[in-house]
A and B are shown apart, each in its own frame.
Chain A
Amino acid sequence: MTAQEVLAESDAPSLMRSVEKLSPKLISKFCDEGDELAIEVYRRTGFMLGLGLANYASVVNPEAFVFTGGIAKAGDWLLDPMQETFEKYVYKNMQGKTKFLVSELDEDNHDVLGASVLAWEVKEYSLFK
Chain B
Amino acid sequence: MENMEAIETVDKIKTRVVGVDIRIDRTTMAVVDIRGEIVAQDHFPTTDYPDVNDYLTALSENIFALLEENGGYESVRSIGVSAPSASSISGCIENAANLPWKGVIPLAAMLRDRIGLAVALANDAHITALGEKTYGSAHGMKDFVVVTISHGGLGSCFFSNGQPHLGNDGFAGEIGHTCVEINGRECGCGKHGCLETYCSQKGLVRTAQELMAEAKEPTLLSDLPELSIEGITRCCDKGDKVAIEAFRRVGDMLGLGLANYASVVNPEAIIITGDMTAGGKWLLKPMRQAFDEHVFRNIRNKTRILVSILKEGERDVLGASALAWDVKEYSLFK
Contacts and interface: CB of A to CB of B under 8 A. Distances in A.
Interface of A: 51, 54-56, 58-63, 88-89, 91-94, 97
A99 B191 CA distance: 21
B131 interface: no
Interface string B164-207: 01111111111101110010000001110000000000000000
Given A55-B178, A58-B177, A59-B265, A93 B171 contact: yes
Nearest to A55: B178
Given A51-B182, A89-B179, A91-B189, A59 B169 contact: no
B177 A62 contact: no
Nearest to B182: A51
Contacts of A59: 156, 158, 172-175, 178, 261, 264-265
A51 B170 CA distance: 21
B25 to A, nearest CB: 23
Contacts of A97: 168-169
B38 to A, nearest CB: 32
Interface in B111-159: 156, 158
A27 B158 CA distance: 40
B260 interface: yes
Contacts of A94: 169, 171, 174
Given A60-B264, A92-B189, A55 B168 contact: no
B165 A60 contact: yes
Contacts of A62: 167-168
Q: Please classify the interface of chain B as helix (H, G, I), strand (E, B), loop, or mixed, using the class held by over half of its residues.
A: loop
Given A59-B174, A89-B191, A91-B189, 15 more contacts: A54-B178, A55-B260, A58-B174, A58-B177, A59-B158, A60-B165, A61-B168, A61-B170, A61-B171, A61-B174, A62-B167, A63-B168, A88-B191, A92-B190, A93-B169
A54 B260 CA distance: 12
Given A55-B260, A91-B177, A60 B167 contact: yes
A58 B176 CA distance: 9
A92 B191 CA distance: 9
Contact of A56 (B158, B177, B191, B264): B264
Most-contacted residue by chain A among B171, B191, B260 (CB, 10 A): B171
A51 B179 contact: yes
B264 A61 contact: no
20 contacts: A51-B182, A55-B179, A55-B260, A58-B175, A58-B177, A59-B158, A59-B174, A59-B178, A60-B167, A60-B172, A61-B173, A61-B174, A62-B168, A91-B174, A91-B189, A92-B190, A92-B191, A93-B169, A97-B168, A97-B169
Contact size class for B? 20 to 34
Given A54-B179, A91-B177, A61 B189 contact: no
Contacts of B190: 92
A88 B167 CA distance: 20
Interface string B44-66: 00000000000000000000000
Most-contacted residue by chain A among B156, B169, B170, B177 (CB, 10 A): B177
A25 to B, nearest CB: 29
Contacts of A51: 179, 182
Contacts of B182: 51
Nearest to B175: A59
Nearest to B172: A61
A88 B189 CA distance: 11
A66 to B, nearest CB: 14
Nearest to A51: B179
Contacts of A56: 264
A94 to B, nearest CB: 6
Contacts of A93: 169, 171, 174
Most-contacted residue by chain A among B158, B172, B173 (CB, 10 A): B172
Contacts of A88: 191
By Cβ-Cβ distance, the 9 closest A-B pairs, closest first, are A61-B167, A55-B178, A61-B172, A63-B168, A91-B174, A58-B174, A91-B177, A93-B171, A61-B171
